[in-house]
Amino acid sequence: MDLEKVREKLINLEDIIIQGLCQRARFKHNNAIYEHNSKKFLFSNNYEGTYFDFMFKPIENVHAIAGRYECFDERPFYKGLSQSVVKRDYNSKIPDDILKFSKKINFSPWIKISYLNFLKDLCSNGDDANYGDSVLCDIFNLQAISKRIHYGILVMEAKYQKSPEIYNELLSKDDDISISSELKNVNVELKVLERVREKSIKNGIKNPDVIVNFFKNIIIPMTIQVELDYIFSKSILSKKS
């Protein structure tokens, strides 16, 4: 579990997220998509809700049937999805304690709320009627962001394996504040934010601070929270065993 290789994966996800956000920024905010029972949309099946949920949940249900959420770093945004009918070995190289934990954690509902609020800053105000394209961008972005944040499970395992003595000492004291401080690497975070800025500019974003702040205030803190939840869960499991 090499920390540098794990960080390479985070950089790949970072690229995907930034490109997706830049694509979404090309459309207006299109607020009607997110309004409950917006008059912009008439459903012949008496559906009540948002156009966003109308598109996203069935798509996610297909992904669930195909086995997407059997993978340790893929967490759904909706409840009540169908069970997978596809059997694949997604997690052959993932330790059992990581798999046990990944089934218990799901930050996706909070990611969704944060992302939808963020769109007001990312997109120009107004309506360009590109509703379907906007929602498809949103779905792509949300799934990529969720994967990046839940990948914090492997980040934490790699950090733990690199310095087990330090984390075991802090865990023995239930010192979440000190562990949180240990997890935060200011130099690494600054490098991440600088990369995000450069890539946002390269992709044509006029105000890169919007995307930089989303990483700084949402993606990075949520990833650290996943790391914290995982290391404490690991500690509890080890005490029981």
CATH number, domain at 195?
A: 1.10.590.10
pLDDT higher than 80, residue 239: no
Strands (E), 128-231: none
Other Cβ atoms less than 10 A from the Cβ of 31: the count is: 15
50 to 36, 37, 38, 61, 211: CA distances (angstroms): 5, 6, 7, 17, 25
pLDDT tens digits for range 188-215: 899 999 999 999 999 999 899 999 999 9
User: Which of helix, strand or coil describes residue 102?
Assistant: helix
Question: What is the rounded distance in angstroms from the CA atom of residue 202 to the CA atom of residue 184?
Answer: 28
How many domains, in total, are found in the chain?
A: 1
Report the pLDDT value the prediction gives residue 27, as an integer from 0 to 100. Answer: 98
Q: 87 is in which domain, residue-wise?
A: 3-240
How many CA atoms does the CB half-sphere of 95 hold within 13 Å? 12
Tell me the CA end-to-end span of the chain in Å, nearest whole number: 22
In this model, does residue 15 exceed pLDDT 70?
yes
Return the structure tokens found at 3.
């920390």
Residue 187: pLDDT over 70: yes
User: What percent of the chain is predicted at pLDDT more than 70?
Assistant: 97
Distance CA(60)–CA(36), nearest Å, equals 20
